Structure 1
Amino acid sequence: MHGLFRWSGKWWPGVVLLVLFWAIAAWNDTAAVEADIAGKAAAAVKGIALDKVSISADGRDVSFGADAFSEEGRHGALITVGSVPGVRLVNDETRLVPEAKPYVWSVEREVAKITLAGNAPLPAVKAKLMDVARAEVKGIEISDQMKLARGAPQYFEDAAALMIGQIGKLKDGKIALSDRGVTLSGIARDLGGREAIAAALKNLPQGFSVAANNVKAPPYVFQANKDPVALTLTLSGYVPDENIHAVILGSASRRFFSEKVVDKLKTSVGAPYQFVNAVIPALGVLSRLSTATLVVSDREVKISGDALYDAAAAQIKAGLAKEFPKDWQVKADISVKPASAPVDGTVCQQLFNDLLSKAQIRFLTGRAIIDSHSAGLLDRLIETALRCPSTNIEIVGHADSGGADAADQTLSERRAKAVLDYFVKAGLPAERFTATGYGSSQPSASNDGDEGKAKDRRIEFLVRKP
């Protein structure tokens, strides 16, 4: 008996170990089966349009959760999981993605960021729209704020992609969809951008339409900068068409005789009413200034710079109200350039000659009325006369040989007198000046052609000692 008890004491621990080993083996086998079933179920539904998929197995029973985009899709996914080999039953934890009414979506630009928001019908559609946005506007942040929702109208994806294609034309703004209606707001990047977007959205898919287009055009800006050091007049910004472009360049080339005209103008729609009638007189003011800038934006003109002498600044300011079209605003910041150093008579004569070698004082045809295009040249001549106050100056008029001698003589005298009067109105003492006319008796060029005749219709300045 004692021996049997001893043998039994050795047998019991072995049985315990055997049972433990069997339990571990059974547990490992079950875990492997569950992992295998869950993996096969996940693979089976991988190609089905679902969101937030979760699959777990308890033995051969599968718990299947997912957001489905239709009742048919949800039902089909359950059948697919139930058909996986080894699955005994499926615990249905699926649900339908919420339906959106109305179905809204938008693409918004905030200068350096684009946000896609609202609803999207499928994860694949979300991903595709993000790809379209990245391709359309490169190098800026693209934010995905879209949520999945059922109820998208037919051709939603095509409509949204077309809308994203227009966002690059906005500086900032928003293009939004509500069911099949499209609304737009913001500011276009360039002139004509609003019209370009409207034209593109005419290709919206069937059933879609633009409900409201509140995109604003950027300011219509024309600029001119006069640099007396580089001797350039740089024109930039916009003009309405090539005809007005040519008119502005022609006016600038006649007024700015010392400066090279640098043309950076572009044509674009959107010019304010009477645009050219504001730009031309504004360039006239600019031609009378030293360092100067001009900005024409919508119906506002801003001019700043230095007049060459006090009376010129006063004349410019007094004439601004009359020069520009009604309903236009003019803002002028006109100061006076510091006076240049005095010179003697010899240098003064050379300065006159240099100026008149570059341009001539122009008059209306057959008359003694000074052409307004000569205002800038006259101011430079007056500035020169101010630098030699101890000299007297003879203003000499000449004519071409196209008319009768007596008529030419009279016209040349009257034109010389008109220049003298201009100088006196500018504040110079009348006793310093005399006006003389020589008609066509002193030609400077052959009068056989128009070019030679034009050279002879001239005014000269002769510096005399008192």
Structure 2
Amino acid sequence: MFFRGLLATGLMAIVLSLIAVVVNRPAIENDLSSRLSTVYSAFGNDWARISVEGRDVSLTGKAPIMAEKQAALDAARRIYGVRVVNDRLETNPPVSPYTWSVSKDGKVLTLGGHVPSTEMRANIRDVSKKLYGDMEIKDAMKLADGAPEEDWKQALDFALQTVDYLGKGAVKISDSVVTIEGEAADVSSYNKIAEAFRGGPEAPDGFILASRVELPQMSPYVWSIEHVGRKVTLSGHVPSIDAHGEIVSRVRERFPRAEISDKMKLASGEPAAWDETIVYAINQLKKLRSGKVSLKDNVISISGEAADNPSYDSLMTAPVPDEISLKPAIYRPAALPYEWAAVWNGKRLDMTGYLPSKELRAKALKLVAAAFPGADSLDRTELASGEPENLQGRIAFALDQLKQLKMGSVTISNKVITLAGEAPDKAVLDKLRAAQPPSGAEFKIELEQPEGAGDAGTAAMSAAGLKADAAAISPYLWTARRIGNEIVLSGHVPSAEARSGLAELTARLFSGARIEDLTEIGAGAPKGWLKAARLALQQLVRIENGRVRLKDRTLSLRGQTYLASGREQLDALVKSGLPEGFDGTADISVKAAGAEMQYEQCQELVNRIISLARITFETGKASLTREGLGRLDRVAYTLRRCPAARIEIGGHTDSDGDEASNMRLSQDRADRVKKALVAAGIAAERMSSKGYGETSPIGGNDSAEDKARNRRIEFKLER
């Protein structure tokens, strides 16, 4: 009975327990499901489906990665009260290719692609917030298996660092390839990207790096090239590293001796005709003595001074690349000092010097025709910039004064108008002295009234007890006048032979000049007159815009010299260097120093000086002739205007004589020129002298003319 009672009691307990289980099962299942859901929610598991039967848990769904599946199973097994966990979970297959990305658009940073674990995902978010705390960060990453074996985290860190260099774009990882694409934030960032993706120290090991980043778009797109002295400066933007290299290479080719300052930066946004436009710009700059060529989008601007007049014409007419418009601010080569002159010999008017345009040249010729109706005229002006204000008005005034002279010249040099020559009488002389020039100009007159002759002279001779001769001239006048590149001989000479000899001497002394011989033969020349006249002509070589005059036995010099030493030597000549029985006076001023120039301009002027008249020496010697010394004055004056230039003085001979002797002679002559220039105030350390002998002829050695051309001094200027 006892056991029966015990059995009955046990069965009752079991029944009661079963009843309790059945009664409490829903609550148990709900509790287990709730607790497991809470755990899954805590670590972001939103893919597992939970089914509870009693205390048995079944899990279904697709885990993104194997690790997540295992974590879900382990979490379920750790729940108190769970008896059995039935694994019905699936997993996604490994992703291939395995990708991840970070993109930047303004103030938004988006994380996308795949990550191999929740820990790494959280770490990526934390690092992103630390690096880009001022940006909105969007997380679009997904868990997936299949990450490459390489150091994935190192690649992620590299991507998060380099995306900062983008204005807009993304860094993507696909398996073991890291690619950056988009637009760089700026040129500096573009360069940093280029360095990083060339395999810099921060690059991830084992990954292939690729960059498809565009330069930042620049608007407006600007580029320029400037040439001043021996320096060429490149500035602005270029579309690629290759384009940068091509530009520098082309500039070195076109300006081989220039110092190149490269300030170009990379940027996109260049005009469609970029390559053609750059070639055009560099070629145009070569035609400028100094200046700048600038590109702004589709507009190219050229400013500066043309190297010469043909270059100016070419600059203004060269075809511009398609779709590019031109804004020129080009001026002709500047003339310093800026001079214009008109020479009137009583029959013909010659116009020389500079004018700024063809239009003003045409107007000046009309003014000449109006002032000198019926007279012949010759226009030898050159076009150049640097003209004084109201040049047309000053020319009109100058011609109005010149037409009142028997012969003479008028010169406009910057703001000074100078009238020189012979007035027909005192009334005209007084009128000219009272003339008022245009506003801003100064008017100087260097006029002489013609000396009387004829009866008065004969009467004077009779009063002195001399035999009067109807053919004798008294006072006996002869004048050689130099205005610019014009030499006018006037007055009387004692014979045809004297006239011919003086004409030949003038042609030799002033080779390249225009010579007008208006002299007449007349008796009355004093003894020694021809020697004095020849000496006077030799002095005129050193005088600019002036004259030498013999009046009986008195030589008078008037005009300007280029150097103070020239004036001193002329003063000494008239005091003690004249033939016996002659005396003299010198009214000589020193030409004002010219404005400084670039060495290229000096080279051009020096070449012009020695092309008109060579530096000459005594035959077979290194001694400068009087005319050679006079021409050297002008060279020295010009060299003073480019104090930074270094000068090589080259001596050359013809092929007469033996080669060694010619080499010595050419060196001696170059040394002598250097010594003369030092005496003229050119620093010795600026100059070197070199003899070339007969090794560099500029003509044949078969004729006297060619040999004369080969006997020369040359000047090469460098900075």
Measured against the shorter chain, the TM-score band is 0.5 to 0.7
Give the aligned residue type for 2:530: V
- CA deviation map 1:144-192 (0-9, x unaligned): xxxxxxxxxxxxxxxxxxxxxxxxx95359xxxxxxxxxx95679xxxx
Give the aligned residue type for 1:220: Y
Give the aligned residue type for 1:293: R
CA contact (8 A) 1:171 1:187 kept: no
| Secondary structure at the counterpart of residue 693 of structure 2 | coil
- CA deviation map 1:199-247 (0-9, x unaligned): xxxxxxxxxxxxxxxxx8521111122112xx31111111111111122
Q: 1:226 aligns with which of 482, 486, 493?
A: 482
Q: Aligned residue for 2:18? A: none
- CA deviation map 1:248-279 (0-9, x unaligned): 11221122235311101111111011101111
Q: 1:319 aligns with which of 573, 587, 591?
A: 573
Alignment pair present for 1:195 and 2:469 = yes
**CA distance in structure 1 between the partners assigned to 2:514 and 2:674 by the alignment:** 29
Q: 1:423 aligns with which of 677, 682, 694?
A: 677
**CA distance in structure 1 between the partners assigned to 2:688 and 2:502 by the alignment:** 36
CA contact (8 A) 1:391 1:464 kept: yes
**CA distance in structure 2 between the partners assigned to 1:364 and 1:402 by the alignment:** 15
**CA distance in structure 1 between the partners assigned to 2:481 and 2:659 by the alignment:** 45
Give the aligned residue type for 2:575: A
Q: Aligned residue for 1:12? A: none
Give the aligned residue type for 1:433: M
Q: Aligned residue for 2:386? A: none
**CA distance in structure 2 between the partners assigned to 1:373 and 1:307 by the alignment:** 13
| Secondary structure at the counterpart of residue 396 of structure 1 | strand
Q: 2:539 aligns with which of 278, 285, 296?
A: 285
Structure-2 change in CA distance of 1:452 and 1:217 (3 Å): closer
**CA distance in structure 2 between the partners assigned to 1:196 and 1:320 by the alignment:** 32
Give the aligned residue type for 1:387: R
Q: 2:455 aligns with which of 150, 154, 171?
A: 171
Deviation at 1:455, TM superposition (A): 1.1
Q: Aligned residue for 1:397? A: 651
**CA distance in structure 1 between the partners assigned to 2:638 and 2:546 by the alignment:** 20
Give the aligned residue type for 2:483: D
Alignment pair present for 1:452 and 2:452 = no
Structure-2 change in CA distance of 1:405 and 1:186 (3 Å): closer
Q: Aligned residue for 1:85? A: none
CA contact (8 A) 1:170 1:186 kept: no
CA contact (8 A) 1:256 1:376 kept: no
**CA distance in structure 1 between the partners assigned to 2:585 and 2:608 by the alignment:** 34
Q: 2:503 aligns with which of 249, 263, 270?
A: 249
**CA distance in structure 2 between the partners assigned to 1:414 and 1:400 by the alignment:** 15
Q: Aligned residue for 1:119? A: none
Q: How many residues align?
A: 264
**CA distance in structure 2 between the partners assigned to 1:322 and 1:394 by the alignment:** 36
Q: 1:434 aligns with which of 677, 684, 688?
A: 688
| Secondary structure at the counterpart of residue 418 of structure 1 | helix
CA contact (8 A) 1:234 1:261 kept: yes
| Secondary structure at the counterpart of residue 342 of structure 1 | coil
Deviation at 1:375, TM superposition (A): 2.9
| Secondary structure at the counterpart of residue 364 of structure 1 | coil
Q: Aligned residue for 2:640? A: 386
Q: Aligned residue for 2:494? A: 240
CA contact (8 A) 2:480 2:490 kept: yes
Matches within 5 A, 1:95-174: 171=455
Structure-2 change in CA distance of 1:217 and 1:250 (3 Å): closer
Alignment pair present for 1:360 and 2:611 = no
CA contact (8 A) 1:281 1:323 kept: no
Using the aligned pairs only, state the percent identity. Answer: 33
Q: Aligned residue for 1:275? A: 529
**CA distance in structure 2 between the partners assigned to 1:170 and 1:415 by the alignment:** 51
Structure-2 change in CA distance of 1:289 and 1:186 (3 Å): closer
Deviation at 1:298, TM superposition (A): 0.8
Give the aligned residue type for 1:334: I
CA contact (8 A) 2:498 2:530 kept: yes
| Secondary structure at the counterpart of residue 355 of structure 1 | helix
CA contact (8 A) 1:194 1:217 kept: no
Q: Which has the higher contact order (CA 8 A, sep 6+)?
A: 1
**CA distance in structure 1 between the partners assigned to 2:698 and 2:473 by the alignment:** 54
**CA distance in structure 2 between the partners assigned to 1:271 and 1:420 by the alignment:** 41
**CA distance in structure 1 between the partners assigned to 2:459 and 2:569 by the alignment:** 45
**CA distance in structure 1 between the partners assigned to 2:587 and 2:506 by the alignment:** 21
Alignment pair present for 1:262 and 2:536 = no
Give the aligned residue type for 1:223: T
**CA distance in structure 1 between the partners assigned to 2:652 and 2:468 by the alignment:** 56
| 265-274 or 255-264, larger mean C-alpha shift | 255-264
Q: Aligned residue for 2:623? A: 369
Q: Aligned residue for 1:80? A: none
**CA distance in structure 1 between the partners assigned to 2:459 and 2:563 by the alignment:** 49
CA contact (8 A) 1:225 1:233 kept: yes
CA RMSD of aligned residues (A): 2.4
| Secondary structure at the counterpart of residue 424 of structure 1 | helix
| Secondary structure at the counterpart of residue 400 of structure 1 | coil
Deviation at 1:399, TM superposition (A): 1.2
| TM value normalised by structure 2 | 0.35
Q: Aligned residue for 1:78? A: none
**CA distance in structure 1 between the partners assigned to 2:633 and 2:612 by the alignment:** 14
| Secondary structure at the counterpart of residue 296 of structure 1 | strand
**CA distance in structure 2 between the partners assigned to 1:253 and 1:371 by the alignment:** 15
CA contact (8 A) 2:473 2:522 kept: no
Deviation at 1:371, TM superposition (A): 1.8
Give the aligned residue type for 1:300: T
Q: 2:589 aligns with which of 314, 335, 342?
A: 335
Structure-2 change in CA distance of 1:409 and 1:329 (3 Å): same
CA contact (8 A) 2:478 2:491 kept: yes
CA contact (8 A) 2:570 2:586 kept: no
CA contact (8 A) 1:398 1:437 kept: yes
Structure-2 change in CA distance of 1:222 and 1:312 (3 Å): same
Give the aligned residue type for 2:624: I
CA contact (8 A) 2:647 2:686 kept: yes
CA contact (8 A) 2:510 2:613 kept: no
Q: Aligned residue for 2:252? A: none
CA contact (8 A) 2:474 2:524 kept: no
Give the aligned residue type for 2:659: D
- CA deviation map 1:117-164 (0-9, x unaligned): xxxxxxxxxxxxxxxxxxxxxxxxxxxxxxxxxxxxxxxxxxxxxxxx
Give the aligned residue type for 1:324: L
**CA distance in structure 1 between the partners assigned to 2:539 and 2:675 by the alignment:** 20
**CA distance in structure 2 between the partners assigned to 1:360 and 1:347 by the alignment:** 19
| Secondary structure at the counterpart of residue 607 of structure 2 | helix
Give the aligned residue type for 2:679: K
Which entry has the higher C-alpha Rg, 1 or 2? 2
**CA distance in structure 2 between the partners assigned to 1:376 and 1:264 by the alignment:** 25
Deviation at 1:419, TM superposition (A): 0.8
Between Structure 1 and Structure 2, the one with more helix by share is 1
Unmatched runs of 5 consecutive residues or more in structure 1: 1-168, 174-183, 198-215
**CA distance in structure 1 between the partners assigned to 2:715 and 2:502 by the alignment:** 30
Unmatched runs of 5 consecutive residues or more in structure 2: 1-452
Structure-2 change in CA distance of 1:255 and 1:239 (3 Å): same
| Secondary structure at the counterpart of residue 349 of structure 1 | helix
Alignment pair present for 1:294 and 2:548 = yes
